[in-house]
Amino acid sequence: MIMLFPLLFFISLSISGCNNNVEGKDVALDTEYILPDSSFRYNLDQPDNKFKLTKKLKEISGLACYDDKWLIAVQDEKGALYTIDIKSGEIEDIIKFSADGDYEGMACKDNVFYALRADGVLFRIKDWHKKKTIKTKVIETSLGKINDTEGLAYDPLSNDLIIACKGSSLIGEQKHKSRSVYSYDLDSSAFNSLPVCTITRKKFKKFIKDNLSKYPEYKPYKKEMKKAKKDIIIQPSAIAVHPITKNYYILSAISNSLVVMDRNNEIKHVKRLSKKKFEQPEGLTFTSNGDLFISSEGQKKKARIYKFKYFPES
């Protein structure tokens, strides 16, 4: 029995150390060992689940969560919603809501869906479950092609839709040193011309400099910013509001980064995403308990959606 104990202990360790990333299954992990940064409650190096998507969603762009049961997606070329089972990653339905176009963002409020086109136009989609009587309303904003609007999310604190601009941060003007997020008030049905938050080149550069000693992995950002000269290397491709902290999570396909900003317009975290996993990350959303889903377009590989478990602070 004494001789068997070391062998049994070794076997138990081997079993517990295997298959921590099984496709199609949720895996509970010990936060003490799997969170590289205790202040950031996700491990972006270790997805809890992942889905390979079909060719229909190779250019998946916008992503939203509905009722904690489905992911709702749009893609770059089709005026259609794709409902995806949140556990299997299978497409359950395709709902046509408008003509084909460059759709980049997706948001949900209750039973109403909103889609965002790259020229700043919003589409409100009601009665989507009744395909024959689906109601789509076109909503104009003050944003246009120059802003290259790619991120859309619902903000429950303000009852606004928030719109992230990959292009110009100013309305009607070209500018490269910053990127802004604007809002559309659902109560008054009005666009707010004052940004909700803005990431400037100066602010991003300072954050990297101030945190470089703590996070040596930030070092490549210094080279990238120098190479970009006066341009900013964070160009939002998606945005979401964290359901618990209410912070803004901003995804940038350029530089493969996730930036977290608080309600005071201050950067809280910058995380680099693996280029092997995320060829072109363009969508993110949360379930109500804080689990994070990030989608990536397919280029050399198939498009994918990754799930990252949220570990609240104890």
Provide the residue ranges of all domains of the chain, joining segments of one domain with +.
59-308
CB 107 within 8 A of CB 113: yes
pLDDT above 70 coverage of the chain, percent? 89
Question: What does the pLDDT read at residue 130?
Answer: 80
Could you tell me which residues are beta bridge partners of residue 293? Answer: 285, 307
Question: What does the pLDDT read at residue 11?
Answer: 38
CB 67 within 8 A of CB 74: no
Q: What average pLDDT score do residues 196-223 get?
A: 96
Question: CATH fold of 59-308, please?
Answer: Neuraminidase (2.120.10)
**pLDDT of 43 higher than 50:** yes
Q: What average pLDDT score do residues 107-126 get?
A: 97
Q: What average pLDDT score do residues 97-117 get?
A: 97
Question: What does the pLDDT read at residue 210?
Answer: 98
CB atoms within 10 A of CB 243: 16
State both tokens at 170.
């100013």
Question: What does the pLDDT read at residue 133?
Answer: 83
Alpha-carbon distance 197 to 182, whole Å? 7
pLDDT tens across 150-164, in order?
Answer: 999 999 999 999 999
Q: What average pLDDT score do residues 190-212 get?
A: 97
Handedness of CA 192, 197, 203, 205 (dihedral sign): negative
Q: Which of 85-89, 134-138, 229-233 has the lowest mean pLDDT?
A: 229-233
CA distances, 183 to each of 62, 112, 163, 195, 237 (Å): 17, 17, 6, 7, 16
Q: How confident is the model at residue 42 (pLDDT cuts 50, 70, 90)?
A: very high
State both tokens at 158.
């303000």
CB 130 within 8 A of CB 152: no
pLDDT tens across 274-314, in order?
Answer: 999 999 999 999 999 999 999 999 988 899 999 999 999 87
Question: What does the pLDDT read at residue 295?
Answer: 98
Could you tell me which residues are beta bridge partners of residue 307? Answer: 49, 293
Q: What average pLDDT score do residues 185-202 get?
A: 97
Question: What does the pLDDT read at residue 177?
Answer: 85
Q: What average pLDDT score do residues 48-55 get?
A: 96
**pLDDT of 58 higher than 90:** yes
Question: What does the pLDDT read at residue 313?
Answer: 87
Alpha-carbon distance 57 to 265, whole Å? 33
